[in-house]
Amino acid sequence: MSKKILLVLNTDPPPRLGRLTGRTRILHTDESSLAEHLPHADVLLVWDFTSRAVREAWPGEGPRPRWVHTASAGVDHLMCPELASSDTLVTNARGVFDQPIAEYVAALVLTWAKDLPQTGELQRAHEWRHRETQRVAGTRAVVVGSGPIGQAIAGTLRALGITTALVGRTPRSGIHGPDDLDRLLSRADWVIAAAPLTETTYGMFDARRFGIMQPSARFINVGRGPLVVEDALVEALSRQWIAGAALDVFDREPLPPDDPLWDVPGLVVSPHMSGDTVGWRDELGAQFVELYELWEAGKPLPNVVDKKRGYVPGH
């Protein structure tokens, strides 16, 4: 019986797949040769989850892998009509990033509430200036996106005493539906975008939505860049429709050095790092090895993406 071929769309450092050594044939490829190798692979591991090469290479001729796994929570970077309509199984890295992203959001909330950036500036200036800061307990948050990441964010904010509403695709116990979003936004102190990128969420935070928010509200996007109309956010900040914002994801990544977003007053820019803690690559590699062993044994896989919806259903 011939060994299965695992094709890895690579980036540095490569994944650690030690337990699979000798059991499967592992081929590494980059964007330029992905299309050439796809017809020969049984499994594709999209380790370079910033690449859009899968979307471009998948519609080509010949057989395609029976299973694609992406080392990311989002799948919009690899999904194309041909993959969505195929029999290929798609899984994601759900579970690895949930709590780290929740901690990152909580850090931003506390940083703003306790005015830590100005404390640092005043220390560098050797200036003693007493101020009063905001109490977070008793404030209100809206988390848009009811998957594991959104639920982890909501749980962490609630632990700080923040009254938190979770908004998902459909209303159910403990989760609001889209029809409640505008009402919740109008009363929120903190608005967190953690939704997957789909046809219904693309550009959902636009000028109208920023206009609904309170002047004291602060907005955080740890979901996908295109959830936000960036020009509308810039206008909202410049007109002081909202008090501040933080973006960890963008329409273009990496953000070019000359992009005006770097210099927008009231905007915190971070380089898509909210879920990346020390050892995260090893966690992703270990997760994939566990999934591969299930697949190899013919057992059902967790984290199966609904390719039409663009996310793992169930939340």
From 94, 169, 224, 230, active-site residue: 224
Q: Which amino acid is at 85?
A: S
From 272, 281, 309, 315, active-site residue: 272
Task: Please report the beta strands in 200-302, taking only residues with DSSP state E, as ranges in sequence order.
Answer: 218-221, 244-247, 267-269
Q: Which amino acid is at 254?
A: P
Among 213, 216, 257, 210, residue whose Cα is nearest residue 231: 210
Among 119, 47, 118, 105, residue whose Cα is nearest residue 275: 105
Catalytic site includes residue 253: yes
Calculate the CA dihedral of residues 302, 307, 310, 314 and round it to 10 degrees: -40
234 — alpha (psi -120 to 50), left (phi > 0) or beta? alpha
Among 116, 121, 120, residue whose Cα is nearest residue 133: 116
**301: DSSP letter:** P
From 121, 253, 290, 293, active-site residue: 253
CA dihedral (208, 214, 216, 217) positive or negative = negative
Among 261, 264, 272, residue whose Cα is nearest residue 104: 272
Spatial distance between the Cα atoms of 214 and 234, rounded to a whole number of angstroms:
16
Give the helix ranges, DSSP H, for 192-263.
207-212, 230-238
Spatial distance between the Cα atoms of 284 and 286, rounded to a whole number of angstroms:
6
Catalytic residues: 224, 253, 272
